[in-house]
Structure formats: C-alpha cells, structure tokens
C-alpha cells in the first residue's frame, strides 16, 4: 500500500523523466512521464479533502502558478513568456472546480447545480479562454476522480475518456460526417496518442493508496520545508533543465 508521500515522490520522479524525455525526444521517457499528471490531479483532490485551510491551499497554488510561468516558458519555447499557462494553473483550476462542486453538493437547494463549476472550467479551458497545460482534460479527469474513486470500472473508463478526449472527439465528429454520407479518413491516434494510454498506469498506483499521509519529519520546520519543496521542485527543475540543455 502507498501513502500520499510515496505518490508525491512517484509523481515528481515521473515528471522529471518526462521532461528529460521531452528535451531528448525520447518516447520511452515520455511514456513513463504520462504517470505524473493523473497522480498530481488525484493528489490535489486528496489535498483538498485533508487540508486544514483550503484558502491557503489555493493561494499557495496561485503563487506557484505565477512563479512557474517564466521557467515553464523558457523550458518549452526558450522565450521569457508564452500564452499557454503552466500546469500549476491547471491544478489550481482543478482545485477551484472540486471546491465549488463540493460546496454546491452540500446543500439541497444547490446540489442540482453541482456540476456547473466543472462545465464552466471545462468550457474556458476547452475554448482556450485560459490556455493551460493539459487544459480541459484535467477538469474531466478531476471529476472522474471526484465521483468515481470508489467505483473501479467507472474510474478506468472515465479516465480513458479523459485522457483520450481529443482523439475520441475527433472520431465522433468524423463518424457523424460518415453517417451523413461524406467520405472521411478517420483520425486514428498517432504514436504520441497511443503513448497517452500509459497514463492509465497511474490508476493502479492510486488504487494502492492507503489513505495515510506517510513520512512526516518530527521537526515542524523540516516538515514545512519538505512540504514546500514538492511545489518548488516544478519551477526549479525546469530552470535547471533549461540551463543544461539549451
């Protein structure tokens, strides 16, 4: 069984491998890296459930989103800034989606509108009102984890749909055109599309989660430094990789 601490370490290491693979254009590393994002999505939801101060949690993600944007831009485009926001923004939107959904679900008068936040955040990311890393797929995956965590079949099916969303959407569009009598060539996933399926391996890790926080240093200061290091690793390692490889 795996603790939240172990899941964080696995997510961190797979993200590092993924980013090295991105620079080297080495697909096996990218496949390993597919594990990272679903784990981070799950950890955000788990963190929401267990944090003592959700406002502080959201503020911390907001700060890291802005801090990470220049390292992210340098890493991806070698420019100081780019229109697409980093994954910290995606995780912040996921937190806000889950938070809003949960609050609306708690009251009889608003529970029927509980999915509206997910629809809203899905919409602004799908239509690129806010262009973020992973975009609307992150919102879909968060809702799958939120509602189906204890329902394995729906969890796996929903995760598959979330991960392969754009490919499935294209197939649906071309299927509709075919039914209307038009000649079409179906847009089956390329190699990168099939590599996305390695993301599903993260579900096996998530289902091994034991519900415990895991390793926590006795010293409060050390514990706080360790907690923040998981956030700071993202922008710092992007900068290091940028200076090494570019």
- Per-residue pLDDT averaged across 118-146, rounded? 97
Domain boundaries along the sequence of the chain: 4-245
Q: Which residues contact 187 (CB under 8 A, 6 or more apart)?
A: 167, 170, 171, 174
Residue whose structure tokens are 């797979």: 14
Q: Which residues contact 68 (CB under 8 A, 6 or more apart)?
A: 86, 87, 88, 234, 235, 238
Give the pLDDT band (50/70/90) at residue 223.
Answer: confident
**Between 61 and 189, where is the model more confident?**
61
Two tokens, residue 80 = 């100081």
**Between 180 and 138, where is the model more confident?**
138
Two tokens, residue 4 = 């939240």
Give the pLDDT band (50/70/90) at residue 49.
Answer: very high
In the predicted structure, residue 135 carries a pLDDT above the cut 90: yes
Nearest to 196, CA basis, from 225, 165, 219, 170: 165
Average pLDDT of every residue of the chain: 95
> Which secondary structure element, helix H or strand E, spans residue 11, and what is its range?
helix 4-24
Rounded to 5°, angle at Cα 19 from 189 and 207: 70
Q: Which residues contact 97 (CB under 8 A, 6 or more apart)?
A: 117, 118, 121, 139, 142, 143
Give the pLDDT band (50/70/90) at residue 183.
Answer: confident
Rounded-to-5 percentages of helix, strand, coil across the chain: 75, 0, 25
- pLDDT more than 90, % of the chain: 87
pLDDT (tens digit, 9 = 90+) per residue, 74-127?
Answer: 999 999 999 999 999 999 999 999 999 999 999 999 999 999 999 999 999 999
DSSP 85: B
Neighbouring C-alpha atoms within 13 Å toward the C-beta of 232: 6
pLDDT (tens digit, 9 = 90+) per residue, 161-173?
Answer: 999 999 999 988 8
72 Ramachandran zone, left/alpha/beta (phi>0; psi -120 to 50)? alpha
């Amino acid at each position: 069984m795996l603790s939240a601490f172990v899941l964080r370490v696995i997510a961190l290491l797979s993200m590092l491998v993924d980013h090295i693979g991105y620079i080297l254009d080495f697909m096996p590393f990218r496949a390993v890296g597919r594990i990272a994002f679903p784990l981070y999505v799950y950890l955000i939801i788990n963190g929401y459930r267990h944090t003592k101060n959700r406002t502080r949690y959201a503020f911390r993600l907001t700060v890291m989103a802005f801090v990470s944007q220049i390292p992210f831009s340098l890493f991806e485009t070698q420019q100081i800034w780019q229109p697409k926001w980093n994954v910290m923004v995606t995780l912040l939107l996921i937190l806000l989606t889950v938070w809003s959904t949960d609050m609306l679900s708690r009251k009889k008068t608003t529970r029927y509108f509980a999915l509206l936040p997910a629809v809203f955040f899905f919409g602004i990311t799908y239509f690129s009102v806010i262009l973020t890393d992973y975009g609307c797929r992150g919102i879909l995956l968060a809702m799958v984890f939120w509602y189906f965590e204890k329902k394995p079949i729906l969890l796996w099916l929903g995760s598959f749909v979330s991960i392969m969303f754009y490919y499935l959407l294209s197939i649906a569009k071309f299927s509709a055109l075919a039914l209307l009598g038009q000649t079409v060539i179906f847009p089956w996933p390329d190699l990168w599309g099939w590599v996305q399926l390695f993301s599903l391996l993260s579900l096996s890790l998530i289902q091994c989660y034991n519900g415990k926080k895991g390793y926590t240093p006795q010293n409060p200061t050390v514990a706080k430094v360790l907690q923040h290091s998981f956030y700071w690793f993202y922008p710092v390692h992007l900068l290091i990789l940028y200076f090494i490889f570019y």
